Amino acid sequence: MTDQHQGLPVAGYRPQNDANVALVNEHKAMEERLLRQLDRLQGTGHDDRWLAIARTHIQEGFMALNRAVFRPGRVSLPEDAARP
């Protein structure tokens, strides 16, 4: 049996099963290893501007990957109730 974890206390996030939580935790470890590699390269004579670009794209890529797993949804807004 797979346990359900409550979603983040943020609108749009839903409960997740153990497999999804484990998968995203695995992704977070991969991301951290890559970011630490960038940390080691910073200030060593490599192009720091491109290292910063790489960092941004890696972070964006993992964010997209984890959103694909957790599948947060759209949220209702107070003004939605005012629509005819």
pLDDT for 1 equals 54
Q: What single DSSP character describes residue 79?
A: G
pTM of the model: 0.82
DSSP state of 43: T
Q: Give the per-residue pLDDT at 10.
A: 82
- How high is the pLDDT of residue 3? 78
Count of beta carbons in the 10 Å neighbourhood of residue 79: 7
pLDDT at 11: 87
**How does pLDDT run across 23-69, given as a tens digit for each residue?**
999 999 999 999 999 999 999 999 999 999 999 999 999 999 999 99
Residue-level pLDDT at 2: 65
Domain limits, the chain: 16-68
Are residues 3 and 17 in contact, defined by beta-carbon separation less than 8 angstroms? yes
